Amino acid sequence: MLEELGIKAKAASRLLAKLGQNEKNNALLKVADALVAHADEIITENSKDMEYAKNKGMSEALLDRLKLSKKRLEGIAEGVREVVALDDPIGEVLSMKKRPNGLMIGQKRVPMGVIGFIYESRPNVTVDGFALTFKTGNAIILRGGSDCINSNIALVKVIKEVLKNEGITEDAINLIENTDREIARQFMKLNKYVDLLIPRGGAGLIRTVVENATIPVIETGTGNCHIFIDSSADLDKAIPIIKNAKLQRLGVCNACESLVIHKDIADKAIPLIVDMLSANDCEIRGDEASVSISSYIKPATKEDFGTEYLAKIISAKVVGSLDEAIEHINKYSTGHSEAIITESYENAQRFLDEIDSACVYVNASTRFTDGFEFGFGAELGISTQKLHARGPMGLLALTSTKYIIYGNGQVRV
Amino acid sequence: MLEELGIKAKAASRLLAKLGQNEKNNALLKVADALVAHADEIITENSKDMEYAKNKGMSEALLDRLKLSKKRLEGIAEGVREVVALDDPIGEVLSMKKRPNGLMIGQKRVPMGVIGFIYESRPNVTVDGFALTFKTGNAIILRGGSDCINSNIALVKVIKEVLKNEGITEDAINLIENTDREIARQFMKLNKYVDLLIPRGGAGLIRTVVENATIPVIETGTGNCHIFIDSSADLDKAIPIIKNAKLQRLGVCNACESLVIHKDIADKAIPLIVDMLSANDCEIRGDEASVSISSYIKPATKEDFGTEYLAKIISAKVVGSLDEAIEHINKYSTGHSEAIITESYENAQRFLDEIDSACVYVNASTRFTDGFEFGFGAELGISTQKLHARGPMGLLALTSTKYIIYGNGQVRV
C-alpha cells in the first residue's frame, strides 16, 4: 500500500516539475475557492473528530488546534491565495559563472521531488502543506494524526477533485488513511520514493521520526521559548510582550514558556509580571530568588526549566548577568525562539549573536515566529535543526538545487 | 569516551563561533606550512597504512586514494591556502526586511556547530574537512577508516599543535582513534553534541550511516555517472570526454561508469569508443545492440547498469531516443553527475532540465564535479541528496542561518 503510494507520488512529482507557474496558480486558486464552497461538508467531518477528541478528554489547547470553523476555513483559503501571490522559485538560476577553462557553471532551483509529512491534530496543516509543496512542483504524502483523520479525508477529497477537474494528476496529494503507528514507521523508511520528511507535532512524535526515519528529516519545533528581561529593560514594553508571548495562544510552539530575569530589575519587574499573569490565571514556577520576591510564585522543580507547558504555566529564573542568562537559555532552550527585552545596544547585539536559536528577538514577542508573520505567505513548520532550513519554513525550504554546466568539449587536466 | 569528545567539541564550537576571520586564516596558513614541514613524519606514518593495506590486498584504486607523498601533501597544503583566500561567509546577513508592523527581520549566516565526519581511506579528507569546518567556525569530529588511522593520527597531531601554538582550542579538531564499528554506530547517534554528520566513502558505508544515524546526515555520493552520446554529438568532443571521464582517475565518484548511445550514431560512435577504450585496456559491457556492433563488447548483465565499477570497466546501452536515454539514466543513476554530448540546442536544454542529478553537463567531462574545479577552494564531499546541499560541498554547506529580529515592543495581534 505504502509502496504503491510512493510510486504514484514519485511519478506525479516528475509531471509536477514540468508544470508552469500559471497552471499551478490557477489550480491553487480553485482549491482555495473549493475549500470555502465545501465548508459545510468539511466542518461536518471535523465535528466527528472534535466529538471523538472531547470524549477522549483532549486538552483545551489541543482541541483548539483541531477545530475547523467557516472562519478558519476562510483563513486557510486565504493562506492558499497568499501562496499563489508569491513568486514561484522553481527554475531560477541562482548564479552562473564562467570558470577559467570556459565551463559555465550555474545553480538552478528545482523541486525537492516527493515530500512526506507526518503531523498531529492540525487539519490546517493539511492544506498549508499541500499549497506550498504544489506551488514548488513537489508531490506530497500526508500522514496526519488519527485525531483529525475525518477532517483530513474531507480536505484531501476536495483538493483531489479540483486537481482532477484541472487536468492535473490527483497524485500530487496523497493521504495515508491508515493511522496505525506501524504504518507510520514504515513510511519513515520509504527513501526510494520520498526525498524529504517533515514531522510536525509534539516532542514525542518528532523524536520518533528522528530516531526511526532513514529519509532525510527536517526536525520541526517543540518550543521551550524564553524571554530575558535585561537590567535595562523598559517594563512598559516587557509586560505586554510577556502577556502576548505566554497568553495570546497557549498550544503553540512559539509561546513563551520561561522567563529569565536580571537580578537588578527583578524587584521591580517580578511584581508587575505577577500582577499581569495572576490576573490571567497563569501559574508561575520559579527559582528561589523569584519565589522570595513574590509568594504567588511556586517553587520550580529541575524539570520545569526544560518543559514546554502549552498551558497557563510559565517558569521563571533570576540571573546575575547577561552571560548567565545566555548560558541558561542555550542549555534549556529547544533552539526555537528567544527574546531579550533591553534598552542596551551592546546586550541586544550580544544576545542576537550568542543565543543559538532559530529566531532571536530584541524587544518583540516570540509569537512572531511564523511563516505568515515573516511574510512567507504560509508555513510548513518551524525548523529547529540547523540543516537545510532553520526557523519558519516557506517555499524555499521545499526546493533543492542542481548544478547545470555548459561546456564545449572540456576535459579535466 | 564519545560523550567526552562531544562535550569538548560542543564547547569548542562556541569559542570558534566567536573567532574573527583573521584569527582563523592565520591559524590555517600555519597549518598549511606545518603539513609540509612535517611531511616526513606524516609520510612515515602513511607508509605503515600503505604497507598494511597492500598486505590486506587492497585494490590499486584504493591504494591510490590512501597514498600520501610530499607532492600530495603540498597539494593538500595548497588546498588549505585556497580556503584561506576564500571569503568567510559567517556573520553575513542575507537579507534584512522591514515588516508592516515595523519588525526588522534578517537572516544571518552562522556556523553549523559541531560537524561529524565518517570516511574511509583518504587522508587528504582529514585536512580538507578540518580546513573548511574551521574556516566556517565549526568544530569537527573525525572518524576515518582503520586503513588510514596512522596517517590520520599524524595529520591531526600536526594540526592540534598549530592550534595550541596559536592559542586556539585544540578541540576544534577531534579524531576518534578507536576504529571499531560499534563506536562508529554510537557516534552516529550523538545528536546532543553533533549538528551534522557527513559520511564519505563507498556505498556500504553511506548506507550504514543513513540507516543508523539519528544526527542529520548529508548523503555523499556514490557515483554511477552516465555520458549520453546524442545523435547530433560531435565525436571529436565525445571521445576525449569519455576517455577523460572513464580513465583519468579510476577510483573516484565522478568517473563515468556507463555510456548511453543514441541508435542513430551508434554505428559510427561505438567503433571509435571501442578503439579508444580497448587501447587503454578498458572492458566494455553492453546491451545486445552494442554487442552486435563490436565484438569487443561483452554482454552486460542486468546488474551492470547499476554498478559503480571504480575500475577499467564501463557499461554501454543503445537507446532509441532522448526520452529513453533520460528514463534510463534517471532509473540507474545515483543522482551524482551525468553528461550529454550533443550539438542540439533543444536536447541540451531538455537534458539539463529533466535529468535528476546533482550536476548535469553539456559537452564536458563528469570529472569536473569537484569542489576545487567548481571554484570552492576545497571540498567536503559530493552530496547526492537534495536536502541542504547538493553537488560538491564547500564552505556554504557547513553553515546554517538564524533569524535575527529587531523590534520596539511589537506584540502579535
Residue-wise pLDDT for B363-405, tens only, equals 999 999 999 899 887 777 899 889 999 999 988 999 999 999 9
Mean pLDDT score, B220-226: 89
**Of the partner residues A240, A352, A402, the one whose CB lies closest to the CB of residue B411:** A240
* Residue that wins the pLDDT comparison between A33 and B252: A33
pLDDT < 70: residue spans in chain A: none
Report helix, strand or coil for A180. coil
Mean pLDDT score, B234-253: 96
- A112 contacts in chain B (CB < 8 Å): 386-387
**pLDDT for A362:** 98
**pLDDT for B219:** 84
Q: What is the rounded CA–CA span in Å between residue A107 and residue A109? A: 7
**pLDDT for B206:** 87
Mean pLDDT score, B164-193: 95
- A323 contacts in chain B (CB < 8 Å): none
Res B279 pLDDT > 90 = yes
- B388 contacts in chain A (CB < 8 Å): 387-388
- A408 contacts in chain B (CB < 8 Å): 237, 363-364
- A247 contacts in chain B (CB < 8 Å): none
Distance from CA of A112 to the nearest CA of B (A): 6
> Chain A residue with minimal CA distance to B195?
A386
Q: What is the rounded CA–CA span in Å between residue B283 and residue B286? A: 10
**pLDDT for A155:** 98
Best mutation target, B276, B340, B405, B408, to test chain A (most A CBs within 10 A): B405
Q: What structural domains does chain B harbor?
A: 2-220+393-406 (3.40.605.10), 225-368 (3.40.309.10)
- A369 contacts in chain B (CB < 8 Å): 403
Best mutation target, A209, A403, A406, A413, to test chain B (most B CBs within 10 A): A403
Q: What is the rounded CA–CA span in Å between residue A158 and residue A32? A: 10
8 Å CB contact of B405 and A359:
yes
- A358 contacts in chain B (CB < 8 Å): 402-403
pLDDT-based confidence at residue B139 (cuts at 50, 70, 90): very high
Res B109 pLDDT > 80 = yes
Interface contacts (A, B; CB < 8 Å)? 194
Best mutation target, A97, A345, A368, to test chain B (most B CBs within 10 A): A368
> Chain B residue with minimal CA distance to A114?
B386
**Of the partner residues A243, A360, A407, the one whose CB lies closest to the CB of residue B361:** A407
Res B234 pLDDT > 90 = yes
8 Å CB contact of B210 and A195:
no
Res B221 pLDDT > 80 = no
- B214 contacts in chain A (CB < 8 Å): 210-211
- A385 contacts in chain B (CB < 8 Å): 195, 216
Tens-digit pLDDT profile for residues A328-371: 999 999 999 999 999 999 999 999 999 999 999 999 999 999 99
Mean pLDDT score, B249-266: 96
> Chain B residue with minimal CA distance to A190?
B211
**Of the partner residues A210, A364, A401, the one whose CB lies closest to the CB of residue B407:** A364
**pLDDT for B61:** 83
8 Å CB contact of A240 and B113:
no
8 Å CB contact of B210 and A214:
yes
Contacts of B410-413 spanning 24+ positions with Cβ under 8 A: B410/A241, B410/A363, B410/A364, B410/A365, B410/A368, B410/B101, B410/B102, B410/B103, B411/A240, B411/A241, B411/A243, B411/A244, B411/A245, B411/A248, B411/A364, B411/A365, B411/A367, B412/A244, B412/A248, B412/A365, B412/A367, B412/A368, B412/A373
**pLDDT for A292:** 98
Q: What is the rounded CA–CA span in Å between residue A283 and residue B318? A: 73
Distance from CA of A328 to the nearest CA of B (A): 14
pLDDT exceeding 70 applies to what percent of chain B? Answer: 100
One-letter identity of residue B109: R
For the entire predicted model, the pTM comes to 0.86
> Chain A residue with minimal CA distance to B357?
A402
pLDDT-based confidence at residue B159 (cuts at 50, 70, 90): very high
Q: What is the rounded CA–CA span in Å between residue B275 and residue B293? A: 13
**Of the partner residues A112, A356, A361, the one whose CB lies closest to the CB of residue B386:** A112
- B243 contacts in chain A (CB < 8 Å): 411
> Chain B residue with minimal CA distance to A402?
B358
HSE, CB side, 13 Å, CA atoms: give it for residue A127: 34
**pLDDT for B251:** 86
8 Å CB contact of B391 and A403:
yes
Tell the burial category of B69 from Cβ atoms under 10 Å away from its Cβ (0-12, 13-18, 19+).
exposed
Mean pLDDT score, B129-145: 95
Distance from CA of A41 to the nearest CA of B (A): 30
**pLDDT for B246:** 98
